[in-house]
Structure 1
Amino acid sequence: MIESTSIRYFRIVTECGSIKQAAAALRIAPSAISRQMQGLEEELSVKLFERGARGMNLTDAGHVLYRYAIENRDQLDGLRSEVEAFDSQRRGQVKIATVEGMLASFLPNFFVDLSGAYPGISMSVTAVGSRDVAEMVGQNEVDLGLIFGRAPRRDLVELARMRQSVQLIVAPDHPLAGKISCGMKDLAGLRVVVPDPSFGIRQEIDKACAQANVRLQICNETNSLAFAQTIVSRTELATFLPRDTAMPSIQAGTLVGVPLRDKRLEATQVTLVQLAARNASPSTRLVAEMLVARMRDNED
């Protein structure tokens, strides 16, 4: 498929109409082109040009070879475009806005794998609440967003969803720590530290409590899930988090996750979104495809 020197010279001589003009276009000596044309005719055992006063005209065999030369060049151009696109896919910066819960294990694990496979791609990660994630994606400030729940804007495309059931999170010595699961009625009057209303988790908890007619005793609100976990690990307060968010602390033995028997909280999910009108870069498309695959693999 790679264009040989003799075929390239033949194509340019044909398009220029003479060896002299082709030599000027290629900035080489006419004798070099003449030798290539003579060698090509000897190799194919055919006459390619009729040489006349007005220049060089293709023979029938020359027309056949010229069609081949053009097709070969087009194939080479297509190959070059594919190779360049593949190379650009492996380089660049991808900006991601995410809810804080994805920073505990999901995104760090993803980043480690991404940097190992594609060291030329860097990720810029901003942690904000779900509403702000959607706003940043919608305003074209970031390439991709991970929100809690469904996409709240019509101009966002949902690329993938990953179920992240919300659990009750308590210290190991909390009275509810030993339960296999809890219903919403079991939480009436529970002293809690909760994410502020900008968090999708908080919105789902409020809806679940309202539906069950349960009132929590909110002692603290915060915009940091890490802060909520620290407070819970040191006090009798409880909080609510997707299990994956609290997994490092659960594995370390400083927190316990108790499943909640509530259809709404069992079905909560994280959604990968992108602006519908955005023309994504090759590296962004690659990262999006990898995130979609990882989210499918990490379904509860």
Structure 2
Amino acid sequence: MIESTAVRYFRMVTECGSVKQAAASLRIAPSAISRQVQGLEEELSVKLFERGARGMNLTDAGHVLYRYAVENRTQLDGLRSRVEKFDSLRRGQVKIATVEGMLASFLPDFFIELSRDYPGISISVTAVGSRDVAEMVSQNEVDLGLIFGRAPRRDLIELARMRQPVHLIVAPDHPMADKTSCMVKDLAGLRVVVPDPSFGIRQELDKACAQARVHLEVRNETNSLAFAQTIVARTELATFLPRDTAMPSINAGTLVAVPLRDRRLEATQVTLVQLAARNASPSTRLVAERLIQTMKEAED
């Protein structure tokens, strides 16, 4: 399928009308073109041109070869376009805004695997609250967003959802650490450090507590889930997070996750969103497809 030098020179002579003009166009010596054309005629055992005072005119055999040369060139251009598209798919930068909870284990694991398969794709990550994630996606500041809960704006489309039930998070020596699960009503008077109201976790927790008429003793409020975990690991306070968010500390034995038996808190989720009107790059589409697949696998 790749165009040979001889066929390319033949095609240029045909289109330019003479060896001299083809040589000028290709910036090579006319003798080099003549040798290649003569070699083609000898290989095919046909005469390709009628050489006259007004230039080079194709013979019947020459017309057949020229049609082949044009078709071959068209196929070559299509092949080049597909190869370039494939290369762009494997290269580029993708910007993601995410809630902090996805930074503990989910996104690091995802990025390590992506980097192994597509080393030419770089990822830029910004951690903010769900509302700011939605705003950044809407303003085209990032390509993709991971928010806690459902998409809050009509200009965003939901690509995938992944359940992230909220757990009670305590130190191993906390009185509630040995429970296999607990109800929201069991939390009455519990001393806690909680995410500030900008977090979807906090919003769902407040609604669940209001519905159960439970009052928590909020000792600390923070915009850092990592800070909340550090405080809980060192004190008698408790907090509320998806289990995946606290997984590194749980695996290290410094925190314990207790399931909460509450319909609202068990149904909480993280949603992958994109601006509906955005024309995504090939690398962004690839990352989005991989994220969708990874989130689906986490649901199974």
* TM-score band, normalised by shorter chain: over 0.9
Partner of 2:157: 157
Alpha-carbon shift at residue 18 of structure 1 (Å):
1.3
1:89 maps to 89
The secondary structure found in structure 1 opposite 2:25 is: helix
Give the aligned residue type for 1:124: S
What residue is the counterpart of 1:240 in the other structure? 240
Is the counterpart of residue 268 in structure 1 residue 268 in structure 2?
yes
Q: Distance in 2 between matches of 1:294 and 1:98?
A: 16
Q: Give the structure 2 partner of residue 66 of structure 1.
A: 66
Amino acid at match of 1:282: P
| Aligned counterparts of 1:241 and 1:159: Cα–Cα separation in 2 | 23
Aligned-residue offset at 1:93: 2.2
Give the aligned residue type for 2:286: L
CA distance in 1 between partners of 2:285 and 2:89 (Å): 8
In 2, Cα distance between equivalents of 1:149 and 1:9: 63
Instruction: For 1:173-192, list aligned pairs within 5 A.
Output: 173-192=173-192
Query: Is the partner of 1:271 in helix, strand or coil?
Result: strand
CA apart distance, 1:210: 2.5
The structural deviation recorded for 1:229 is 0.8
Q: Does 1:27 align with 2:27?
A: yes
Cross-structure match for 1:100: 100
Aligned to 2:294: 294
Q: 1:157 deviation in Å?
A: 2.0
Report the counterpart of residue 14 of structure 2 in structure 1: 14
Q: Does the alignment pair 1:212 with 2:208?
A: no
Q: Distance in 1 between matches of 2:68 and 2:267?
A: 60
RMSD: 1.6
Q: Does 1:2 align with 2:2?
A: yes
- Return the offset for 1:289: 2.1
- Describe the superposition over 1:44-84 as per-residue Cα deviations: whole angstroms up to 9, x where unpaired: 22222232332222233222222221121122112212222
Deviation string for 1:12-47 (max 9, x for gaps)? 111111111111111112222112112112222222
User: Aligned partners of 2:84 and 2:27: how far apart in 1?
Assistant: 27
**Number of aligned residue pairs:** 300
Q: Name structure 1 gaps, 5 residues minimum.
A: none
1:3 CA drift (Å): 0.5
Q: Does 1:112 align with 2:112?
A: yes
2 CA distance for matches of 1:11 and 1:143? Answer: 45
Describe the SS at the equivalent of 1:12: helix
- Show the counterpart of 1:195: 195
- 2:153 aligned counterpart, secondary structure: coil
Listed as ranges, the gaps of 5+ residues in structure 2 are none
Specify the code of the residue in structure 2 equivalent to 1:217.
E
- Runs of 4+, deviation exceeding 4 Å: none
Q: Alignment partner of 1:35: what SS?
A: helix
1:30 is matched by which residue type in structure 2? P
Shift of the alpha carbon at 1:237? 1.6
Query: How far is the alpha carbon of 1:162 from its aligned partner?
Result: 1.4
Please state whether the residue corresponding to 1:220 is helix, strand or coil. Answer: strand
Q: State the match for 2:55 in structure 1.
A: 55
Letter in 1 for 2:40: L
**Aligned-residue offset at 1:88:** 2.6
Higher deviation after alignment, 268-277 or 49-58: 49-58
Deviation at 1:170, TM superposition (A): 1.1
| Amino acid across the alignment from 2:41 | E
Greater shift, 283-292 or 255-264, is seen at: 283-292
SS in 1 for 2:95: strand
